[in-house]
Structure 1
Amino acid sequence: MARTSTVSSTGHVRTGRSPSQDWTRLFYVGAACVMLILVLIGFRHFFLHGSAHPGRELTPNIRTLIIVHGISMTGWVLAFLIQSLLIATRRRRVHMKLGPVAVVLAAFILVSGLWFNVASFRLVPPDFILWTLTMKQFMVLGFYTLFMFAVFVAVGIWYRRQPEIHRPMMLLATLSTMAPAIARIDVLNALYQGTVMERLFGPSLGMLILGAAFLVVKWYVTRTIDGWYAIGYGVLASTQLLTIQFARTRVWDEIARVLLR
């Protein structure tokens, strides 16, 4: 990252962070706040009443699993906000010390997420339609979300000492989990339900729009395009589109049939 330098009246050179660095740090804090707010709105029934969307009872057979997975996912968004705040307030050592905790949380999310994805769809009638997809078709989105989350987290951890890569990867990891929350905000989904966009993107359009907005906002405040984020977002958007089309194939139908036995 670039630094600015000035010469004092005594001849000493003083260095400091450039304004773009400060804006970058604030951007990540702002992005984390936006995602946390969306999670709280989307899952408001869960947090306020202990119920599922749009107010129905949590499935008794997997109630504990739902609660554990929901809390762990919310914990990840909170962790992303805390880590962003630590960097913004120049507490990098604390940020680094909390890194292993985030790794453990990510691993727990993957395990509970895989368990939840299979267990929940075993209890749903096979002819139930959601976002133009049958339940067997819809199940692939859960696996896809966990896969992309794992990929972005893994890349972020591998490049943890290179902030220009680490930070956008962790942002993308968090963004990749946002579709379930945004899909539960009815006023937003009503804008495209029943259109060709619903068939193409399913419940993920809101998440992809949010990701595009992050790219534009970061460019606006820093006056530079974040290449790593742009590449990661492009992968996320294109594979999301392909995954929904794959969900409608006979190949996935056979895979889902085996998983749901």
Structure 2
Amino acid sequence: MSITTHRSERSGWVRQPWLWFAIALALVAFGFWPSFLSALPNVPSHIFVHGTSATLWMALPIAQGLLIVKRRRSLHRRLGYASLALAAAVVVTGLHVVQTMILKNGDTVRFVSFKFALLDLTGIFLFVTFLAMAVQSARRHEIGMHLRLMACTALIPLEAANERTAIQLFPGIVPDFDAALYASLLSMEAICAALIVAEWWLDRVRWPFAFMLFYYLVMHIIATPVALDPQFQAFCQWYAHLGA
């Protein structure tokens, strides 16, 4: 039996993208259950809209994947274009959530908030970039690249959920959000590495997951130095008051 045939027979479970999106959604639900999903009546309106739109965004690829399995490609395309409005809601509310996070304690900004501002703002930029590239890939019928780019848009909100999961599961090791940030970055690096290995297993390694691994490694290295930079701190203060 050839290596290619052997890989093909072993990897049928890898070729079910909707299943992996479902796992990612379950992880997000677990991470945000105590602070968001179980406390919806008491959640501020802007966080409610952001959390709901982000959750729906995580659920969208599951529905889209099942539509492909059922060969409902026309509905898949229409839902995809309609979901751009949902993506806009994720981005706009996400930008506002960053503002309120910075100003949570008034003019006294917690040091860890500067780290989160760096991670969140760059994450939103990547979300928009990957989504735009995913739309272009779909138009060019580059389905493999489209799927990978859409997966990257789902990885970005997973990072925030993993912070909360780390605090819930390992309170002795991860006592606060400063430690949780680095625990989450480690988890995202491991997930990206696993995705790259899975691609290699399928003999189809492409750049999106490698780029995401590079991004999280860079964030791991620069989060503290950038947060210590007075110019970045001044930028965060300016951004937090933007539109006030």
Q: TM-score range by the shorter chain?
A: 0.7 to 0.9
1:44 aligns with 2:44: no
Q: How many pairs were matched up?
A: 227
Residue identity (%): 23
- Structure 1 Cα separation of the partners of residues 169 and 195 of structure 2: 18
Which amino acid letter does the alignment assign opposite residue 141 of structure 1? L
Deviation of residue 125 (structure 1)?
5.1
Which position in structure 2 is the counterpart of 1:30?
A: 19
Select 2:57's aligned residue among 68, 76, 82. Answer: 76
**Structure-1 separation of matches of 2:187 and 2:66:** 25
Residue 91 of structure 1 aligns to which amino acid in structure 2? Answer: R
- The unaligned stretches of length 5 or more in structure 1 are 1-17, 52-56
Deviation sequence 1:102-153 (CA, Å, 0-9, x none)? 2111112111111121123212356565xxx432343222211211111111
Q: How far is the alpha carbon of 1:155 from its aligned partner?
A: 1.0
The offset of 1:199, in angstroms, is: 9.6
Larger proportion of helix: 2
> Cα 1:93–1:219, aligned 2, differ >3 Å: closer, same or farther?
farther
Deviations 1:58-82 (A, max 9, x none): 4xxxx01011100000000000111
Which TM-score applies when normalising by structure 1?
Answer: 0.74
SS of 1:90 mapped into structure 2: coil
> Counterpart of 1:123 in 2: which secondary structure?
coil
2:212 pairs, out of 229, 233, 236, with 233
> Please, what is the CA RMSD of the aligned residues?
2.9
1:3 alignment counterpart: none
Higher strand share: 1
What is the match of residue 73 of structure 2? Answer: 92
- When the two structures are superposed, what TM-score results if normalisation uses the length of structure 2? 0.79
Q: In 2, distance between residues paired with 1:30 and 1:183? A: 23
Partner of 1:255: 235
Cα 1:119–1:230, aligned 2, differ >3 Å: closer, same or farther? closer
C-alpha spacing 1:247/1:87, structure 2 compared with 1 (3 Å): farther
More displaced, 91-100 or 182-191? 182-191
Q: Which has the higher contact order (CA 8 A, sep 6+)?
A: 2
State the Cα distance separating 1:85 from its structure 2 match: 2.0
Q: Could you tell me which residue of structure 2 aligns to residue 211 of structure 1?
A: 192
- Which deviates more, 238-247 or 179-188? 238-247
Residue number in structure 2 paired with 1:107: 88
User: Which has the higher Rg, Structure 1 or Structure 2?
Assistant: 1
